[in-house]
Amino acid sequence: MSLFSSLFKSKQPESEELAPVTIPVTVNYSADKPMNIIMRDYIPDERQIKAFEEFAFEEDTYICEGEYIKRSGNCHYGKIKIIIEKGDHNRRRVFSWEVSDKQIPSEFLDDIMSTIKSYYANESRHNLVFRIVDGGYHAVDSRGLSYVVAVKKAISGLINYPSLNYENIGTYLKSNVSPNTCGHTATTINMDDFQEKGTLYDNSYGYLSYLNFRSENESDVFTGSYPLHDCQVLKCRKCDQIVFFHMNDGGIAPRPEFFLADYTKSYLPEPAVKAVHLLKARLDAFREAFGFPELEDRAAITRSETIGYTVRLQDKETPRLFNYREFKSGEEDLISFDLVATTDVLRKVQGWMIEGK
């Protein structure tokens, strides 16, 4: 048991009423429980730390929220709400745990605390109180990394860092062409040479898909296609080359994978792809709600048995279905397919699926 967890356990009340547990941010984390190598790749880098240091924190109170939800491959589920208050001579750099195990289990306290503490790597001038007041947890999908990323997103959103995402990456690349004078290749990336600039991940339409779709002439790159839709955006500190990074969770174990931005192509946010999973009994209701005439002849829908398969899009405007399957889970008859459509359509489908549960 780590130092933070032991502090928490020793003060956790026996009743349902949860009393806040206050811990100094200055407690040494790394000597007690070092982060694994994958988590270290996700904690704030020097640029993020500098952005935190330069943020004014003029208000007495700030509320920030972050989440990391990934429902495919190596799944994740972490939600967190943090209230940041100005400290004083009695409360300097304080961490206050004010959630129950139903909101965020105490086993993740260490990972959350260490991520917050990392913003003080350069002895920031800010004396702040970090109050963890709410969160979300999934019994299967939640893990330490889920909350590391959720905390970083919460604080990054507050200090307006980073700035690149699936919607504006195309415009950015056209205006910021790098000559790649460092000679980067996808197989020789050193993470220490790069800083995080954003993410292409959009969690507003649910389950991601392993479908890679491309334009007919290869001139367009779709940020909502596998694997880009799960990538972080990295930028070389020396030559400004943009690289996309994700953890490939296919096969035996997750492994880092990198893709260099191609400045000769157009990066487009539309269309995107999501994996749809339904009870077979709901198929008629789905067709009534959204149409999709392909579902009338399901045997003709393009299908692949491999993960990470590729299809060509001749029409970027019309929704398309791929990889239709019927299968059983316990006693339930289920169907699944990959849906390529505009993000607006995908969000409507996600909303329909949630309402029907």
Same domain for 295 and 328? Answer: yes
Query: Do 285 and 243 fall into the same domain?
Result: no
Are residues 40 and 78 both part of a single domain? yes
Work out how many domains the chain is built from and give that number: 3
* Domain end position, chosen among 268, 284, 308: 268
Q: Judge whether 326 and 256 are in contact, CB under 8 Å.
A: no
| Residues linked to residue 332 through DSSP beta bridges, in sequence order | 329
Domain boundary among 158, 188, 214: 158
CATH number of the domain to which 50 belongs:
3.30.230.10
Which of 236-250, 291-305, 322-336 has the least mean pLDDT? Answer: 291-305
User: Do residues 280 and 330 share a domain?
Assistant: yes
pLDDT higher at 90 or 230:
230
Question: Which residues lie closer than 8 Å to 344 by C-beta, 6 or more apart?
Answer: none
Are residues 152 and 118 in contact, defined by beta-carbon separation less than 8 angstroms? no
306 pLDDT more than 80? no
Are residue 27 and residue 129 in the same domain, yes or no?
yes
User: Are residues 31 and 122 located together in one domain of the fold?
Assistant: yes
pLDDT in tens, 32-51: 344 454 555 567 777 788 88
Residues 51-81: tens digit of each pLDDT: 888 888 888 999 998 888 877 667 889 999 9
Residues 22 and 112 in one domain: yes
Range of the domain at 246: 164-268
**Which tokens go with 258?**
């990198």
Same-domain pairing of 152 and 184: no
Can you give the pLDDT at residue 33? 47
Q: Which of 226, 253, 268 is the last residue in one of the domains? A: 268
Tens digit of each residue's pLDDT (9 = 90 or more) over 4-29:
444 333 344 344 445 566 655 443 33
Share of the chain above pLDDT 90, in %: 42
Q: Are both 326 and 298 inside the same structural domain? A: yes
The whole-number pLDDT of residue 140 equals 92
- Kindly report the pTM of this predicted structure: 0.63
The whole-angstrom separation of Cα 228 and Cα 74 is: 16
Q: Kindly state whether residues 79 and 173 are assigned to the same domain.
A: no
7 and 149 assigned to the same domain: yes
Instruction: Tell whether 145 and 229 lie within a shared domain.
Output: no
Neighbours of 341 (CB within 10 A): 24
The tens digit of pLDDT for each residue in 98-154 reads 999 999 999 999 899 889 988 887 666 788 999 999 999 999 999 999 999 899 888
| SS3 assignment for the chain | CCHHHHHHHHHCCCCCCCCCEEEECCCCCCCCCCCCHHHHCCCCCHHHHHHHHHCCCCCCEEEEEEEEEECCCCCEEEEEEEEEEECCCCCCCEEEECCCCCCCCHHHHHHHHHHHHHCCCCCCCCCEEEEEEEEECCCCCCCHHHHHHHHHHHHHHHCCCCCEECCCHHHHHHHCCCCCCCCCCCCCCCHHHEEEEEECCCHHHCCCCCCEEEECCCCEEEEECCCHHHCEEEEECCCCCEEEEEEECCCCCCEEEEEECCCCCEEEEEEEEEEEEEEHHHHHHHHHHHCCHHHHHHHHCCCCCCCCCEEEECCCCCCEEEEEEEEEECCEEEEEEEEEECHHHHHHHHHHHHHCC
